A and B are shown apart, each in its own frame.
Chain A
Amino acid sequence: MPRIIKQRVEFEGRVEERNVVIEGDDLPVWPAGERFQVIGTPVTRVDGAQRAGGTARYTADLYPAGVLHGAILRSPHPHARIRALRTSRAEQAPGVRLVLSHRNTDAIPWYNGMSRIFDTELRYVGDEVALVVADDAAAARDALDLIEVEYEPLPHVIDPLEAIRPGAPQVHPQGNVLGGAPERYARGDVEQGFLAADAIVELDVTTPDVLHHSMETHGSVAWWEGDTLVIWDSTQHIFGVRRQVAAALRIPLDRVRVLSPFMGGGFGGKNNAGKHTVLAALASRRLGRPVRIVFTRAEESQAAGKRPRSVQRIRVGARSDGTLVAIDYWGVSSIGAYRAIGTPLAGPATELYACPNVRAETLNVFTHTGPAAAFRAPGYVEGTCALECAIEALADQLEIDPLELRLRNYAEADQVLGRPYSSKFLREAYAMGARAIGWERRALTPRSPVRDGPPRRGLGMATQLWGGSGSAPAYAEVRLNPDGTAEVRIGTQDIGTGTKTALTQIAAEVLTLPVGKVTLSLGDTDFPYSPLSAGSQTLASCGPAVRMAADEARRHLIDAAASLLEVAPEDVRLEGGRLFVAGVPERGLAIAELTGQIGNFTIAGRGFRGPNPDGVTIRTWGAQFAEVEVDPETGEVSVLRIVACHDVGRVINPLQYQSQIHGGVIQGLGMALREEHVTDPETGAVLDLGFDAYAVPRITGIPEIVALAVDKPDPIANNLGVKGVGEPPIIPTPAAIANAVANALGVRVTSFPITPAKVRAELGRRA
């Protein structure tokens, strides 16, 4: 009988209490030293041929028969009221089938009730005004110019620090601070702590708005089959999209099917249904034809989410031996016009180091800019920039090696929740990374700024702390075919991380089948429930359920074989796809022989994700080391090498693990040196519409990246001993690079991205 318990569950840097249903006993954790055939091996992507062959079908590739194309009219004002809107000219344009606006659409609540699908108050340049549906995309876009809108411009605020001043224009009636007040945290007595400090460092740190820019833009294709709505969506959460769309349209869940079998990147920007998803469904219902709405790259820059810019101040104090005595943190996250949850900026400062006196205050501030979204370790990348630059500045001031300073303040337990960690192999990550980069080569940071001369090298490092535990619920089903092949169904998504391959490996391991004999299908709400592919939780949530489903099928296989072999089930072994009597290997049969004999009687298994262990905090850990060369004349920073070593539990697939590290490091590199999404404070307009003015990393700018893994299973986190690797590798990269720049030049740039102009300015050189 299922029972319900309350449990504290971490997700994307926030801890919340949830009802967790316990269905039965979980499998024991595969211990360290467990011998595997498939797990831990570099299996290439099971869908590699489809992705490399161009036959993988993404949402953007769907053009069902009779499809119509939608284009969205967006607000040109950062804050305005629609006084009048006339669509008749657009409706008469060639090829146009429908124009939707607030005038002919229900007031469907959106953004947690802060707005609606078509609001008459517009709160950022890019807010949705109307939808045109036409025979082709060009006709739809042409007709946007024919919609006549009278706007009443209203006062706007773009800068978050201006937005929190008294009298600032209000983004929402409840005020510009999310939740009405800062989020506060404190332990000990920070002022007393600073009194005991021999050295104090204070830094102002800013990080820019950063865009996800997934290669597949946001998009949905919707059609109706009778009273059932089918949506293909480029999403990280098919079940979430189903819930949101069903609620918006007021139709039952079983009348909505959402699919996303291939997905062209998300990075947190596709965690929720978009307005375009609902609009495609609404338009399709009115027109009786499929409707496709796919963002242009410019829309992706304006209205698809961003890592919100941060303004941070951190003060850290330590005794002369490096022991931390106080951390005081203040941070502002500019969450744009709409956002339901705050950015956990203070996570690293409050938890990473052993420190008795910590105070943190975070303000999440609405502005008249594009809505913020989760972006690969939201808050923690920004917060790590502040904390880890301050720690290294402190080390320099005390003339203690920065790695040694970190080790002296190693947190053995979770000081925020007051409980132990399930496992923490950060020391191992530090040691492996330091060895690989040659940390002992690090020279003392120059006491005074190096203003000229030849390019100089520097070494810097930073630490990563993040969740990634995964959690219940997640479910999977396995069934065996008469020919001995296996099929796995699970309603998760592979957003490019390799989920499909890793889950296939787990099923293959349990069933002792080659990977090629296991076909795993995902990305369909007809399959068992799985959570959002975010928070580095997919493998650790779905993997244990797949293992359990495969294990149930394995037990049924053994039972069936036992009756055929006329022995007790305990005496049957399954190895290499063969069932045999223990000690008598010749008395047995292959799985395919067994399933062939029973025909269409199907051996199947169902698995669920067990609850997380009580009373412990589950974290991922890691360390990154950067070597840079900086030219003091030009301020140009060249990253020569990044070494990354992370503790994310057992590694299921080392090939894909390393690919995740590469990807995270490269995105972190972009944020460190180049990427900045710019909103004009006067007009609220986005100045980087697309890739021309927004510098995503290119292959020519990539340094050597060494991806190492501690690769020790977590002894209790879940039955696989795994944690997530999606987000960890981006977290420490910008801070490690900034620290290396400081080590090279003796000056510290704490405004990201670290552009040549900022380096020169810090050196006192003319721009």
Chain B
Amino acid sequence: MSTPSAPSGSLHAVRVTVNGRPEALRVPARRTLLQVLREDLHLTGTKEGCGVGTCGACTVLVDGRAMLSCLVLAVQADGRTVETIEGLSRDGALDPLQQAFIAHDALQCGFCTPGQVMALRALLRATPHPSLDEIRRAVEGNVCRCGAYPRIQQAALEVARAAEGYR
């Protein structure tokens, strides 16, 4: 199980805004956005669950859309805006979605949680009051092996039903 060899040595300049902060990086062509976030920018809240786009643990927002950062090459993120789980809390206060996850016990081991939260954030931003069905489809690609699913949908529903909507 090995990735095909790529010519090493050649680095590519990438400018990307992560959680509001501009970053200038030089990366090998095959480096993924996930690797850049975790290893270069030390934002380890974004998790690698499979590395091949089948589990959703690495979900981040790229220009506001939920993307699997393990399937995005860092060079593809050039010029874009990326938001990770670390970008959600403001002055130490958690985002309403994160608060709802805690209130409803929508996490157990917590390893998939950042991906679940980011996928739901993308949904709630585009659709402030989604239906249960829309919620379930938004996180269908996010595996929670602990089985917090009933709680995750409860947490998302609470935020979806908030009169003021989701910021």
A138 near B147: Cβ-Cβ < 8 Å: no
| Closest residue of A by beta carbon distance from B49 | A215
Closest chain-A Cβ to B36's Cβ sits at a distance in Å of: 12
- A37 shortest CB reach to chain B, Å: 20
Q: Is the CB of B111 within 8 A of A265?
A: yes
A42 CB to nearest chain B CB (Å): 8
Most buried by A among B39, B42, B110, B117: B110
- Known contacts A138-B3, A215-B47, A659-B108; A690 and B148 CB within 8 A of each other: no
Cβ contacts A574-603/B at 8 Å (1 or 0 each):
000000000000000000000000000000
| Chain B minimum-CB-distance residue to A62 | B44
> Does B2 contact A144, Cβ atoms closer than 8 Å?
yes
Complex: A678 Cα to B34 Cα, angstroms: 30
CB pair B136 A700 closer than 8 Å? yes
Q: With CB as the reference atom, state the residue of chain B lying closest to A302.
A: B1
B window 127-144: CB within 8 A of A: 136-137, 139-144
Asked if B69 is at the interface (CB within 8 A of a chain A CB), the reply is no
Instruction: Tell me which of A53, A495, A667, A692 contacts B54 (CB under 8 A).
Output: A692
- B143–A60 contact, CB under 8 A? no
Q: Does B8 lie within 8 Å of A296, measured CB to CB? A: no
CA separation between A443 and B139, bound complex, in Å? 37
Do B51 and A297 touch across chains, with their CB atoms under 8 A apart? yes
Specify which of B98, B110, B152 is in contact with A264 (CB 8 Å cutoff). B110
Interface presence of B167 (CB below 8 A): no
| Bound Cα distance A215, B145 (Å) | 6
A53 B89 Cβ-Cβ under 8 A: yes
Any chain B CB within 8 A of the CB of A185?
no
**Complex: how many Å from CA A265 to CA B147?**
11
Q: Looking at the complex, which one of A215, A263, A296 makes contact with B51 (CB distance below 8 Å)?
A: A296
Q: Report yes or no: B111 in contact with A264, Cβ–Cβ below 8 A.
A: yes
**Is A497 on the interface with B (CB-CB < 8 A)?**
yes
Mask: chain A, 190-230; 1 = CB below 8 Å from B; 0 = not: 00000000000000000000001111110000000000000
Instruction: Note all chain A residues with C-beta closer than 8 A to B94.
Output: 49, 52-53
The verdict on A145 contacting chain B, using a C-beta distance below 8 Å, is yes
CB pair B109–A705 under 8 Å, yes or no, is no
Closest Cβ of chain A: how far from B60's Cβ, in Å?
11
Please name all residues of chain B whose beta carbon is closer than 8 Å to the beta carbon of A45 when the two chains form the complex: 102, 105, 107
Q: Judge whether A700 and B110 touch: CB under 8 Å.
A: no
Q: In angstroms, how far is the closest chain A Cβ from the Cβ of B31?
A: 8
Specify which chain B residues have a CB less than 8 angstroms from the CB of A399 in the assembled complex: none
**B86 contacts the other chain (Cβ, under 8 Å)?**
yes
Please, how many residues of chain A have a CB less than 8 angstroms from a CB on the other chain? 68
Closest B residue to A667 by beta carbon equals: B147
CA distance A60 to B105 in the complex (A): 23
Q: How far is the CB of A297 from chain B (nearest CB, A)?
A: 4
Taking a contact as CB atoms under 8 Å apart, the answer to whether A662 and B147 are in contact is yes
- Cross-chain contact B109 with A265 (CB below 8 angstroms): yes
Asked if B150 and A702 sit within 8 Å, CB to CB, the answer is yes
Q: Given A297-B55, A662-B149, verify A496-B8 contact (CB < 8 Å).
A: no
What CA separation (Å) do A217 and B109 show in the bound complex? 12
Please, how many angstroms separate the alpha-carbon atoms of A666 and B143 in the complex? 12
A662 touches B148 (CB 8 A): yes
Which B residues touch A217, using CB under 8 A? 49
Please give the distance in Å from B9's CB to the nearest CB on chain A. Answer: 8
Q: Is B50 on the interface with A (CB-CB < 8 A)?
A: yes
| A665 interfacial by beta-carbon distance below 8 Å | yes
Q: How far is the CA of A383 from the CA of B155 in the complex (A)?
A: 36
**Are A495 and B105 interface neighbours, CB within 8 A?**
no
With a cutoff of 8 Å between Cβ atoms, the chain B residues found around residue A752 in the complex are none
Q: What residues of chain B have their CB less than 8 Å away from a CB belonging to chain A?
A: 1-3, 5, 8, 30-31, 38-39, 42-52, 54-55, 57, 84-86, 88-89, 94, 98-99, 101-103, 105, 107-114, 117, 136-137, 139-153
A-B pairs, top 9 by smallest CB distance, nearest first, are A54-B45, A496-B109, A51-B110, A264-B111, A666-B147, A54-B85, A663-B147, A48-B102, A61-B44
If A44-B105, A659-B148, A692-B54 are given as contacts, then 5 extra A-B residue pairs at C-beta distance below 8 Å, sorted by A number, are: A48-B107, A52-B102, A53-B45, A659-B108, A699-B140
Can you name 26 A-B residue pairings with CB atoms under 8 Å?
A45-B107, A48-B102, A48-B107, A51-B107, A51-B109, A53-B85, A53-B98, A63-B44, A139-B8, A145-B2, A215-B55, A262-B110, A264-B110, A265-B109, A265-B111, A265-B146, A296-B1, A297-B51, A297-B52, A498-B105, A659-B105, A690-B50, A691-B50, A696-B143, A698-B140, A700-B136
